[in-house]
Structure 1
Amino acid sequence: MMFVLGILIFFVGILISVAWHELGHFVTARWFGIKVPEFMVGFGKTIWSVKRGETEYGLKAIPLGGYIRMIGMIPPAPGETLGRSRRSGPFQGMIDDVRAQSQLDVRPEDAHRQFYLRAPWKRIVVMAAGPIMNLILAVVLFAILLMGIGQFNGTTTVSAVSECVLPADSTTQTCPVGAPPTPAALAGFRAGDEIVALNGQPFERFGGDDLRAAIQRSSGPITVTVLRDGQRLDLAATPISNLVSSVDDPSTLVQGSFLGIGLVSDYERLGLGAVFVEIGDVVGRTGQAIAELPSRVPSLFGSVFLGEERDVDGPIGIVGVSRIGGEVLAQEIPFVAEASLLLMLLASVNISLFLFNLLPIPPLDGGQIFPAAWEAVKKRIWKLRGKPDPGPVDVARLMPVAYVVAMVFIVWSGLLLVADVINPVRLFQ
């Protein structure tokens, strides 16, 4: 039941993210006087809609994105009236049809409200507003996660004291006969002690990783200052050499000094600066993942048709990431941990939407931003050279590229859908 609920909650979160993206386009388009007949979440057949003013708002059957329809996205051919142009070429018929279809939305009274008539910078603002809304939402989600809930970090408070010395790879917690007591047990450490200094070096409450590293690097007798029942005590101990978990990678065992204490982990609330550091880190990793998408195709194909193991770090579709949301909610972990994971996932999805839509290829938002930017540069150059305004860039000629990209996207989405259903990524085994 919790698994299904998690899927539904995360799926709704994705739909809200899509609607939020389209709201950015919608609001800025209306600010600049562009007519917007449709505001839709999803594609395909309309399953619900309502008309308010001149705009129809609705949900469509295939929840793989959304769109707003602005009139006059495609300008008329330069120097030609509407209809078939005199130009020829393998794609000219397609270009003419797209241009004519765009003009069908334009009523005589709305001729001045067309998208292409707006200044290039206004068109750039309208098209960039959608991805920027996703970035804003990601910042808000990370702020809630890091500033409100906090980051799960190790503290310097002792959670438990091991009674005897066991290797880090030991499968039992029971002390065998003759096992020597740990240095911490001999020194008199107790659960609940807050370590405030090691050999005089102070440690903050959330300096658990630094403290563990200092203990592992130590040699010979050490003096550990603890706070117990409001009193500071100095405990003398002599760590021994043993296999211990690496601070940098807990799954790796290294040789180091062993004291025999466990440390409590808790949520540390961070400042605004940490939010932007995290955003930068996620943007970098997501950008790299997008650049590597073509190289991921063979492994995705193998996971669908050849029974190969799914790459946990590979691409995941809407169904897959929603399923992970269900897995999170189904785990027997504290609610705050579930909320943290869901917020992290949804924030990462919005970063992906932000970056992906800025790619300068149609039909993505960047496919309109780039021509508008080039038009602004072109107008400036023509003006400096004393030439007349060259007019809008003929984006209709990019439509063949848009159709090819759309077909690739459909095939890719279908492949991801099948992979997410028959061979899903599992974060929890």
Structure 2
Amino acid sequence: MRTHMDVLIVGAGPTGLALGIDLARRGVDALVVERGAGLAPGSRGKGLQPRTLEIYEDLGVLDEILAAGGPYPVGMIWQDGRQAGEHRMFDPAEDGEEGSRFSGPWMVTQWRNQEILRARLEELGGTVAFGRELVRIEQDADGVTARFASGETVRARYAVAADGGRSTIRRALGIGMTGETVDPDPFLVADVRIPGLDRDWWHIFPPSGEGAGFVALCPLAGTEDFQLVAQFPEATDIDLSLDGIRTVLAERTHLRPEAVTEVRWASNFRPRAALADRFRDGRIFLAGDAAHVHSPAGGQGLNTSVQDAYNLGWKLGAVLGGRAPETLLDSYEEERRPVAEHVLGLSTAIHRAEAKRGATTRQLGLNYRHSSLTEETRPAPGALRAGDRVPDLTVNDVRLFDRLKGPEWTLLKLEEGVFLVRPDGHVGWAGESTQGLESYRARVGA
């Protein structure tokens, strides 16, 4: 393992891997370290929202992601062993309705998502060092020193904590998290093999009796597995074994115990929502679950995490490359913490059946209109304003996203004005002409 680098990324989940890719394509010397012996197993966060798919296109992994997954199936509600009705989990958009080629979430198991991201990182010359458990981190005016249980020590100019909801780095920095338990009931989630079960439906079994929670079996696109989710009473000690899972399904569904032939991964959790009090401490940044923990309802956590990486990557690249002042990094927390707070509220509301999985969950409308990096100079802005995500439109036979691909800023001149687009696809500056544009460029290093 190298001992000196520009950026140390702790955690090889989707957040850390996406950030590693973004930095690698910018020529930044970064290292991703992971405490485990390999990538984390399990389906976990399986839904990729339209905005994340757009980001994946820019990072160069979209084709592989689309090939690895599929759309979500319609839910089938079962009562007493009979099909009792259909249930659509998501409110779909019309094609192109929100200026995107994607109208709904795309299902890819998290383990496969991570494999694709890792392959892309390595294609760009990056690496993941496994078996590196961070035990201590310190910083000074010039950089960060990280020490691992293996005895190794590395030195980096910046570090990013992408090490999950129980982040070692966040705790070492003394950064608190404010939140709540979304649901006092524990949940079982597992990847199981049920060869005889119809894979055309997301099978939903409502509570069948007093004290018994619901069960859902979702066919995982691109695999032979189903993701099992089961709710239990508050004080239950959940049995994660094959026998335990067979018992749950036999008690709550029409399936016989032997229908489950294999448990490939299993875990339990109690849904909670929590937000880090701050996303930065000097030269160390928090991203992903280290900064915000969601209920899985609505498929927001992983997607928000990837977008953290996409926001931070270009800023680190600009500062490390000497193109922007170090103060540019202040905008990471300024922009991403309010977004995370908003999305946390949405996830919680969906879990409690107080909101639907509609347009807001697709994350295409999230913007940075109130950021200090945003300048809207037109007295009467049009539909596209500074801070907004540029829509995926074709203008004069040219697809805007083809122009925006890559790690640089892009100048667009459209009928409604002039737009300087940030590397993450959001408009930084908008005007009726280019007057005042150069002073903005100088300020942000564009």
What TM bracket, shorter-length normalisation? under 0.3
More helix by share: 1
If each structure's strand is expressed as a fraction of its own residues, which one has the higher value?
A: 2
Give the TM-score taking structure 1 as reference length.
Answer: 0.22
The higher radius of gyration belongs to 1
